[in-house]
Structure 1
Amino acid sequence: MRKKGLALLGVMTLSTTLFAGIGSSTADNVSAAAAQTTGCRTDNHDLSLKTLADTGVAHFQAIQFLSSKVGRAAGNGFMIGTSDGGCHWQAIQSNGTYSFNQIQFLTNAVGYALAQTDSTKPNVLLHTANGGSTFKTIATGGNAFNRIEFFSQQVGFGFTQAFTFKTTNGSQTWTKVSTPPNTRYAHFTTVDKGWIITLRPGIGYEVKQTTNGGRTWTNKLTVNSPATSGGMIYGTDSSNVWVVLNGDSGMSQTSYSVYHTMNAGASWKQIISNSTAGGGPAPGPKVEGLKGPAGAPQDMQVIGNKAAYLAASSGALDKVGIGRSLDNGKTWKNFAGVPGYGGRLSFPTTTTGWIATTSSAPGGIYGTTDGGVTWVKKFSFPEIK
């Protein structure tokens, strides 16, 4: 039987050369000496990670790689980093002060995070200028953000459950962006160009676009759905956009669809139509043969203008399934993925990527260099006896 409580992992020592890769201004600061060490580890790397009180055993909640070598992963009280592609990990934050729910680094030194300092309180917005060694709390105008998108240290967006806010002066002030009623998700690719998912009672979903910072919105896609439990939008520019729409859930199954446009919504292709016995019909027309990874969509990554990856999982599965397209949605393939019950993705290139599973057991970090076909364990928490 597993014991509940804090997961305390041993103490780690690393060479100063490897440590220099995290928080420095060079993204791939890995020395020949570090590369010639005894090989890559797959265990807990002798880390001692204290969790935030009342958040259970240690587990990951966020991951971001700036390159194939340099990345960070964070969880409920800690942040760790690597500068040699996951062969070795070191503690950046390990004292249980912050439960990190999202991290976004603009450079290897400058980054932002959404984190809780108490499991009963909303996120605070944090800023670091030294790679995460220390953080400073940033005012949000009283808004409790559950997601952020920063384009620079001056310009960024903060999202609550229903509203969108923008700063253009380094978070000194935040301005509410006008969005239609029943908006459930927003994603901006520039200061002026953005997309939202709205609920249309009795119909289903509408996906709308703005090109003037939210002053006006134009409907680009209407999807009929008997159930509307939310969705997500991803894309690296305003023309190439991926939309995930959820149907209903039941028996640990979730129905969902994925739509894609390459021309700013002038035309759309339904990439996935994942109806399930427990969740019922997927949003939109039922199309046989358009299956995605099983379970509820967890996270998606869009890389450049051609590649997209989707992770999905459910409580009844022992795997986080991975699906991908490398050709702008012309074809889609699903893979077995990795052990776990949820995951967050980070792909610095179209073929090199990472997933941090968001459960405590099994919990870990896995990497791929062949576009998700195979995965290699890079970090794992000890078993809790």
Structure 2
Amino acid sequence: MMKRKGFAMLGVMTLSAALFTGIGSASSAEAAAGAEPAAGCRTDSHGLTLKTLPDTGDAHFQAIQFLSPSIGRAAGNGFMIGTSDGGCHWQSIQSSGKYSFNQIQFLTNSVGYALAQTDAAKPNLLLRTANGGSAFKTISTGGNAFNRIQFFSQQVGFGFTQAFTYKTTNAGQTWTKLSTPPNTRYAHFITPDKGWILVFHSGGGYDVKRTVDGGRTWSNKLYVHSEQTSGGMIYGTDSSDIWVVLLGGSGMSQTSYSLYHTADAGEHWKQLISNPTAGGGPAPGPKVDGLTGPFGAPQDMQAIGKKAAYLAASSGAVDQIGIGRSLDDGRTWKNVTGVPGYGGKLSFPAALSGYIATTSSLSGGIYSTVDGGIHWSKKFSIPEPVEK
């Protein structure tokens, strides 16, 4: 295993505290320096052996998060690795094969949360670390099986199931179920009080609703007709600036979908993508020629500030993850160069500098870009053979 000075483990780093205040906190100079490839950067498995949780298949990534263009972690079905130099070198943080990490969210370089399984047949546990991921403590979820979390501080956070949203204000000691409409399928909060939800409309299609009082009341902001409703996702870093992915039908390894954006809290919306497919049928909303998005089913999206957003999509029929972006707050959309693989998780700490972890075990790896997705360089390759 390679060791680089200043990075024995992420949990004991002594780098500048300015880098640990959250995604997007690094200065532009730090961003350029942190993500530029350095001489001697490796693209292989960096000498790491990735043990996997039983019955979860070969090693593959399932989550990635960069706190700055330099400092980040990636985790999968039994392991977590980290870098302090923009992916030039990686080291093991968790390698026991005990946890299959489905989501990681670090508030600082030391304090973070994760959803992980200890058995492929059991629901996620909610975990907390205070030492960068070297050790985790289980936090009570009140008996709820969360498939996604969103923490704003060590005390305040949200846990999401398929249909319900729960909130804690005391670090998970207790959880309160929010009052959300029937058939709510996705929720995203910008602050503990301001949030958005995606609801299956009773007559078909989707409703997008907003709250400014912590979920006590919800106001309608968008209705989109759809012949099929299979779900969607909401993203944003500002309560008025929101991106909504709506899914239509799927078939023949194809998924139909649309992308909507608002910059004024839902008073006006712009449809950026209308992506019907032969296998999935019409995309949600009106068909608009020329608004084609990345090929395949949307896998992940990232919003950076109020200007930039990236969307990754892939299909089992093509060994290529497509990536699209807007750098001007939704005024224009461009599909840019993708990376090999299937399934992708994004992390963009700056508008032009970001990372993608491909979630397939075949050709799985981590790639980075410093020019907004025009070019990608490989930073890590899943090792073969994999120890189990």
TM band (smaller chain): over 0.9
CA distance in 1 between counterparts of 2:264 and 2:343 reads 32
Mean Cα displacement is larger for which, 104-113 or 195-204?
195-204
Amino acid at match of 2:97: G
Tell me how far apart the structure 2 counterparts of residues 119 and 183 of structure 1 sit (CA, whole Å): 26
Matches within 5 A, 1:168-207: 168-207=169-208
Whole-Å Cα distance in 1 between the matches of residues 267 and 2 of structure 2? 55
For residues 288 and 38 of structure 2, the distance between their equivalents in structure 1, rounded to whole angstroms, comes to 51
State the match for 2:60 in structure 1. Answer: 59
User: Higher relative contact order at CA 8 Å, sep ≥6: structure 1 or structure 2?
Assistant: 2
Q: Which residue of 2 aligns with 1:100?
A: 101
| 2:80 alignment counterpart | 79
Q: For residues 212 and 99 of structure 2, what CA distance do their matches in structure 1 show?
A: 36
- Structure 1, gaps ≥5 residues long: 1-11
Q: Sequence identity of aligned pairs in percent?
A: 73
Q: Which amino acid aligns with 1:337?
A: G
Task: Give runs of aligned pairs for residues 201-240 of structure 1, distance below 5 A.
Answer: 201-240=202-241
Matches within 5 A, 1:10-159: 12-19=1-8, 21-24=10-13, 26=15, 39-159=40-160
- Supply the distance in 2 between the matched residues of 1:199 and 1:37 (Cα, whole angstroms): 48
| Letter of the structure 2 residue corresponding to residue 135 of structure 1 | F
Per the TM alignment, residue 202 of structure 1 is displaced from its structure 2 partner at its CA by 3.0
Q: Which residue of the partner structure matches residue 310 of structure 1?
A: 311
Pairwise CA distance, 1:25: 5.9
Q: Which moved more, 1:13-22 or 1:276-285?
A: 13-22
Deviation at 1:18, TM superposition (A): 2.5
Amino acid in the other structure paired with 1:240 = D
Per-residue deviation, residues 97-147 of structure 1 (Å, max 9, x unmatched) = 000000000000000000000000000000000000000000010001000
Whether the aligned pair in 2 keeps the contact of 1:361 and 1:383 (CA below 8 Å) is no
Distance (Å, rounded) in 2 between the aligned partners of 1:265 and 1:179: 18
The question of whether the paired residues in 2 share the 8 Å contact of 1:313 and 1:342 is answered with yes
User: What is the deviation of 1:23?
Assistant: 4.3
Corresponding residue SS for 1:107: coil
**Contact residue 337 and residue 373 of structure 2 kept, 8 A:** no
**What CA deviation, in whole Å up to 9, does each residue of 1:221-274 have, x standing for no partner?**
000000000000000011000000000001100000000000000110001000
Q: Distance in 2 between matches of 1:361 and 1:299?
A: 19
Letter in structure 1 aligned against 2:281 = G
RMSD of the TM alignment (CA)?
1.9
Partners of 1:187 and 1:195 within 8 A in 2: yes
Q: Secondary structure at the match of 1:17?
A: coil
Match of 1:251 in 2: 252
Listed one character per residue, the Cα deviations across residues 148-197 of structure 1 (whole Å, up to 9, x for unaligned) are: 00000010000001100000111111000110000000011111111000
Amino acid at match of 1:250: G
Where in structure 2 are there 5+ consecutive unaligned residues? 21-29, 31-35
Q: Is the 8 A contact 1:49 1:77 kept in 2?
A: yes
| AA aligned opposite 2:197 | I
CA distance in 1, matches of 2:383, 2:94: 19
Q: Which one-letter code corresponds to 1:293 in the other structure? A: P
Task: Give the secondary structure class of the aligned counterpart of 2:238.
Answer: coil
SS at match of 1:318: strand
Cα deviation 1:4-59 (Å, max 9, x = unaligned): xxxxxxxx1313423255543636599xxxx9996100000000111001111100
Give me the whole-angstrom Cα distance separating, in 1, the residues matched to 2:111 and 2:152: 12
Task: Report the Cα offset of residue 336 of structure 1.
Answer: 3.0
Cα shift at 1:383: 4.4
**AA at the equivalent of 1:329:** G
Q: Give the Cα separation in 2 of the matches to 1:142 and 1:203.
A: 32
Give the Cα separation in 1 of the matches to 2:205 and 2:227. 6
The change in CA–CA distance for 1:147 and 1:23 in structure 2 (over 3 A counts) is: farther
Structure 1 counterpart of 2:243, one-letter code: W
The answer to whether the 8 A contact 2:49-2:383 is kept is no
Scaled by the length of structure 1, what TM-score is found?
A: 0.93
Matching of residues 275-294 of structure 1 within 5 Å: 275-294=276-295
CA distance in 1, matches of 2:385, 2:341: 15
| Large movers: runs of 4+ above 4 Å | 20-23, 27-30, 35-38
- Contact 1:252/1:315, CA 8 A, preserved across alignment: yes
The answer (yes or no) to whether the contact 2:48–2:383 under 8 Å persists in 1 is no
Q: CA deviation at 1:201?
A: 3.1
Distance 1:43 1:83, change over 3 A: same
- State whether residues 9 and 93 of structure 2, in contact with CA within 8 Å, keep that contact through their aligned partners in structure 1: no
2:302 maps to 301
